[in-house]
Chain A
Amino acid sequence: MSRISSFEVSRSTRASKVALVGWIVILGVLISVPFWAGRGDMRFLIEFAYYLTLAQMWNLLAGYAGLVSVGQQAFVGLGGYMLFAASVYFGIHPVIAIPIAGVLIALISIPTAFVVFRLRGAYFAIGTWVVAEVFRLLFAQISSLGGGSGMSIPAKIVKEIASGRTERDMLIYFTALVILVAGTAMVYLLMRSKYGLALTAIRDSEPASDSLGVNIFKTKLTIYVASAAVTGVVGALIFLQKLRISPDVAFSLQDWTAAVIFIVVIGGIGTIEGPIIGTLIYFGLRSLLSDYGSIYMIVLGCVAVVMMLWAPKGVWGLITQKFDLQLFPVNRRVTWK
């Protein structure tokens, strides 16, 4: 008896406790940004926030649940179109339209899940892509939303978001920050809950987890719907920033999925820290190289190939190999006494 009770299961470490303080400090700084930074810096941070949230959502699907989707642009595009439809045709305040888009997309993602969950592995990936293409072609036929030509959100609606330009910038910035923090917190809490355990089990072996009583379908569906809803919310935010939407850009594989996969793979798949590092690297490369046109894309491709060959766990994987670190404590550790 005494031998069995001589170990302890813990999640937080000293590093993770220090990191928690760090995250709170960073959050405090981010909250203070609108009061001292320029409009350009705020716009940059909004873009950073939406790419990071997209990356967390793709990582939740692929890294934790093993659902490798290449069709997340479906939900980004739907979110954008919902925002335009709600604000232009129903007169809903654009910032309020953002969460509404999330709820509607969660509902749309349920029947979608029943279709794509019939497929596995590479077939699932292609299936999600097909779903996104179907949505793209569908929206190209809806002429009240601009059809294939696309539409702009009228300047009047955007100006009515808040009393002035500064207030508008602030409101959108804080909306982006809330989405980022809520998205990341959702992943963190999901992974610490029983869903986290179930997911890890499913990812490693479906038959084994099934035999242990894990409800595979329900678990996967929950993750898929949650990630679709948040991705849709981000999509609404993105197109509030872009002011213009058309099927090709709303359902762009390159912008909303390929770039996000790059971020997660470079940063470290299956961790919450990975997407954060990946987004930093992606934005760093972009600010250095984006003026070089196609050379920029070639460099991104090379970096991705090199990382996959030599460091498949990404930059965060390299760091945890050297130092036993966890800034978001989701794994359980066994300590023998």
Chain B
Amino acid sequence: MNTKNNKFDMHGISRRNLMKVLAASSGAAALGLSPSRVFAAKTGKPFKIGFVTPASGPLAIFAEPDQFVLEQVKAATRDGIVIDGTHHPVEIIVKDSQSSSNRAADVAAELILNDEIDIMVAANTPETTNPVADQCEINGIPCVTNDTPWQPHFFGRGGDPKVGFEWTYHFFWGAEDIIGTSLALWEQIPTNKVIGTLWPNDSDGNAFGDPKMGFPPLLKEKGFELVDLGRYQSPSDDFSAYINEFKKQGVEIISGVIPPPDFGTFWSQAGQQGFNPMICTMAKATEFPAAIAPFGDRADGLTVEVWWSPTHPFVSGLTGQTSAELAAEYEAKTGRQWTMPLGFKHSLFEVAIDALKRSEGPGRLESIRDAIASTNYNSIVGPVNFQTGPVPNISKTPLVSGQWRKQGDRLELEIVENSQAPMIAKQAELRSLV
């Protein structure tokens, strides 16, 4: 049986994998690693990390920092991971989900069944993290995900708070955090407290608009008047009905969680139809400088929840960089402005590599899973510990709110509200849009 399996492994090496190994070894030579350093310890089997990311399609903007983060991780793990005196190289296999949960499930299964990975990592919206985690749970593969609010991830997969999941772990903030920071934000300036919402009929929209667990009950409690016309079907190319109703009801605050193209349509039509709210806090759509830059002056003053920024007071356990140093290196190397997924993609690999270091070695999947479960790690996005979350398998990261400010030809995100995470410093006061 054993020899049969080995034989199969030999046939299993595809040309592409062979090329990767060759490229990695020539890369090590180029970095000037002396042979004595590489072969200091016994060399064992590699740790294989599978990584699913929306590199193309509508969510591609989330994957912008991937290349940079992967290079950093490769550099940080070029000496491999040493377990019991044996040196294990780290190999990362990247698959594009094409922003589709169908494709995400397929590539996750490919990574599990064909590449025989030791650990799976995935990030960016329920469309990516949920199908990937589902495949891992069924196939018994340790999995770490982030960048999906924890309720759509945990409850969206049918999670039971009493039992949790066996193989899949997730760290991010939740609906309660965004509700807390948003409410505190909106109370900063005097308004008529009439709020209009745009919640699409998708995982995030249904979670935020949930009449029990979402925004509505807390808004009422705090004395806000809610103008909610129901879940709309995204993508939508006409928001006139919403805008008319908002105008009629005298809405001064706009909130929602909508994809960038929808926000583009909504914000343009709001401008044309003379609807000018005092505050516009739009999750997802206005998280990215590239997505709002086309609005020019109308992007100045938009507000958004902030999950990571260069001012977050955390240090990477992988590279020793502060948040500011990480963002600066990213901007210097890529020529692009920092974005929030940069910190989270970095932390995803931090947590995975920390778990691998504490495991019993490649192929020891139970030990890798147990190492993830017992994670107690200070990452670039804050402490990660899956034992202390609101439900099993979840760890929460801090959330604040920020406002985009035009500075020269660049939009800067400044922290204007930190009631949920006081360790992150406030940089400015909220200004009204009008």
Interchain nearest-CB distance for B57 vs A (Å): 8
Q: Kindly state the separation between the CA atoms of A158 and B139 in the bound complex, as whole angstroms.
A: 10
Q: Does A293 contact B (CB under 8 A)?
A: yes
Q: Which of B36-44, B179-187, B201-209 contacts A (4 or more CB under 8 A)?
A: B201-209
Nearest-neighbor residue (CB-CB) of B206 within chain A: A149
User: Do A246 and B206 touch across chains, with their CB atoms under 8 A apart?
Assistant: no
When distances are taken between beta carbons in the complex, the residues of chain B under 8 Å from A140 are: 201, 233
User: Do B98 and A293 touch across chains, with their CB atoms under 8 A apart?
Assistant: yes
**Complex interface bits, A155-179 against B, C-beta within 8 A gives 1, otherwise 0:** 1001100000100000000000000
Within 8 A of A (CB), among B96-116: 96, 98, 100-102, 105-106, 109-110, 113-114
**Complex interface bits, B124-142 against A, C-beta within 8 A gives 1, otherwise 0:** 0010001100110111100
User: Do B138 and A155 touch across chains, with their CB atoms under 8 A apart?
Assistant: yes
A38, A47, A150, A165: residue with the most chain B Cβ atoms closer than 10 Å: A150
User: Do B102 and A149 touch across chains, with their CB atoms under 8 A apart?
Assistant: no
When distances are taken between beta carbons in the complex, the residues of chain A under 8 Å from B271 are: none
User: Do A43 and B113 touch across chains, with their CB atoms under 8 A apart?
Assistant: yes
Nearest-neighbor residue (CB-CB) of B107 within chain A: A290
Interchain nearest-CB distance for A289 vs B (Å): 11
User: Do A38 and B138 touch across chains, with their CB atoms under 8 A apart?
Assistant: no
User: Do B130 and A244 touch across chains, with their CB atoms under 8 A apart?
Assistant: yes
Q: Kindly state the separation between the CA atoms of A141 and B201 in the bound complex, as whole angstroms.
A: 8
Q: Does B56 contact A (CB under 8 A)?
A: yes
User: Do A294 and B113 touch across chains, with their CB atoms under 8 A apart?
Assistant: no
**Complex interface bits, A294-309 against B, C-beta within 8 A gives 1, otherwise 0:** 1000000000000000
Interchain nearest-CB distance for A240 vs B (Å): 11
When distances are taken between beta carbons in the complex, the residues of chain B under 8 Å from A96 are: none
Asked, given contacts A158-B138, A293-B55, whether A152 binds B233 with beta carbons under 8 Å apart, the answer is no
**Complex interface bits, B299-310 against A, C-beta within 8 A gives 1, otherwise 0:** 000000000000
User: Do B105 and A152 touch across chains, with their CB atoms under 8 A apart?
Assistant: no
Nearest-neighbor residue (CB-CB) of A238 within chain B: B102
Interchain nearest-CB distance for B119 vs A (Å): 17
User: Do A150 and B101 touch across chains, with their CB atoms under 8 A apart?
Assistant: yes
When distances are taken between beta carbons in the complex, the residues of chain B under 8 Å from A47 are: 106
Q: Does B12 contact A (CB under 8 A)?
A: yes
Within 8 A of B (CB), among A30-76: 38-40, 43, 47
Q: Kindly state the separation between the CA atoms of A248 and B259 in the bound complex, as whole angstroms.
A: 15
When distances are taken between beta carbons in the complex, the residues of chain B under 8 Å from A207 are: none
User: Do B56 and A293 touch across chains, with their CB atoms under 8 A apart?
Assistant: yes
When distances are taken between beta carbons in the complex, the residues of chain A under 8 Å from B95 are: 291
Nearest-neighbor residue (CB-CB) of B234 within chain A: A148
User: Do A244 and B134 touch across chains, with their CB atoms under 8 A apart?
Assistant: yes
Asked, given contacts A40-B113, A149-B152, A149-B203, whether A249 binds B102 with beta carbons under 8 Å apart, the answer is yes
Q: Does A243 contact B (CB under 8 A)?
A: yes
**Complex interface bits, B64-98 against A, C-beta within 8 A gives 1, otherwise 0:** 00000000000000000000000000000001101
When distances are taken between beta carbons in the complex, the residues of chain B under 8 Å from A291 are: 95-96
Asked, given contacts A148-B231, A152-B158, A155-B138, whether A43 binds B98 with beta carbons under 8 Å apart, the answer is no
Asked, given contacts A148-B200, A294-B56, whether A246 binds B101 with beta carbons under 8 Å apart, the answer is yes
Q: Does A252 contact B (CB under 8 A)?
A: yes
Nearest-neighbor residue (CB-CB) of B103 within chain A: A255
User: Do A154 and B203 touch across chains, with their CB atoms under 8 A apart?
Assistant: no
User: Do B105 and A244 touch across chains, with their CB atoms under 8 A apart?
Assistant: yes
Q: Does A312 contact B (CB under 8 A)?
A: no
Within 8 A of A (CB), among B126-177: 126, 130-131, 134-135, 137-140, 152, 156-158, 165-166
Asked, given contacts A40-B114, A294-B56, whether A242 binds B201 with beta carbons under 8 Å apart, the answer is no
When distances are taken between beta carbons in the complex, the residues of chain B under 8 Å from A248 are: 101
User: Do B206 and A243 touch across chains, with their CB atoms under 8 A apart?
Assistant: no
When distances are taken between beta carbons in the complex, the residues of chain B under 8 Å from A216 are: none
When distances are taken between beta carbons in the complex, the residues of chain A under 8 Å from B12 are: 38
Within 8 A of B (CB), among A129-149: 137, 140-141, 146-149
Of B8, B96, B106, B156, which contacts A152 at CB under 8 A? B156
User: Do B233 and A244 touch across chains, with their CB atoms under 8 A apart?
Assistant: no
- What is the size category of the interface that chain A forms with chain B? 20 to 34
Q: Does A151 contact B (CB under 8 A)?
A: yes
A155, A165, A290: residue with the most chain B Cβ atoms closer than 10 Å: A155
Interchain nearest-CB distance for A48 vs B (Å): 12
Asked, given contacts A242-B131, A252-B102, A255-B100, whether A38 binds B56 with beta carbons under 8 Å apart, the answer is no
User: Do B137 and A155 touch across chains, with their CB atoms under 8 A apart?
Assistant: yes
Q: Kindly state the separation between the CA atoms of A291 and B110 in the bound complex, as whole angstroms.
A: 13
Of A39, A152, A165, A255, which contacts B157 at CB under 8 A? A152
Interchain nearest-CB distance for A170 vs B (Å): 14
Q: Kindly state the separation between the CA atoms of A146 and B130 in the bound complex, as whole angstroms.
A: 13
Interchain nearest-CB distance for A147 vs B (Å): 6
When distances are taken between beta carbons in the complex, the residues of chain A under 8 Å from B8 are: 38
User: Do B105 and A243 touch across chains, with their CB atoms under 8 A apart?
Assistant: yes
Interchain nearest-CB distance for A133 vs B (Å): 10
Q: Kindly state the separation between the CA atoms of A257 and B232 in the bound complex, as whole angstroms.
A: 26
When distances are taken between beta carbons in the complex, the residues of chain A under 8 Å from B135 are: 243
Q: Kindly state the separation between the CA atoms of A113 and B347 in the bound complex, as whole angstroms.
A: 53
Asked, given contacts A38-B12, A140-B233, whether A148 binds B101 with beta carbons under 8 Å apart, the answer is no
Interchain nearest-CB distance for B93 vs A (Å): 10
Q: Kindly state the separation between the CA atoms of A255 and B98 in the bound complex, as whole angstroms.
A: 12
User: Do B138 and A243 touch across chains, with their CB atoms under 8 A apart?
Assistant: yes
Asked, given contacts A243-B131, A249-B102, whether A148 binds B233 with beta carbons under 8 Å apart, the answer is yes
Of B138, B202, B233, which contacts A149 at CB under 8 A? B202
Asked, given contacts A148-B206, A252-B100, whether A40 binds B110 with beta carbons under 8 Å apart, the answer is yes
User: Do B203 and A150 touch across chains, with their CB atoms under 8 A apart?
Assistant: yes
Q: Kindly state the separation between the CA atoms of A149 and B156 in the bound complex, as whole angstroms.
A: 7
Asked, given contacts A150-B156, A255-B100, whether A137 binds B105 with beta carbons under 8 Å apart, the answer is no
Of A243, A252, A293, which contacts B96 at CB under 8 A? A293
12 A-B residue pairings within 8 Å (CB atoms): A40-B110, A148-B203, A150-B130, A151-B156, A154-B158, A155-B137, A155-B166, A242-B102, A244-B157, A249-B101, A290-B96, A291-B95
Residues of B at the A interface (CB closer than 8 Å) are: 8, 12, 55-56, 95-96, 98, 100-102, 105-106, 109-110, 113-114, 126, 130-131, 134-135, 137-140, 152, 156-158, 165-166, 200-203, 205-207, 231, 233
Q: Given contact pairs A148-B202, A244-B131, A294-B56, enumerate 20 new A-B contacts (beta carbons under 8 Å).
A: A38-B8, A140-B201, A148-B205, A148-B231, A148-B233, A149-B126, A149-B152, A149-B202, A149-B206, A149-B207, A151-B156, A152-B156, A152-B158, A242-B102, A242-B131, A243-B135, A244-B101, A244-B105, A249-B100, A290-B96
Please name the 6 residue pairs, one residue from A and one from B, whose CB atoms are nearest each other, closest first: A148-B201, A40-B113, A40-B114, A293-B56, A149-B203, A243-B134
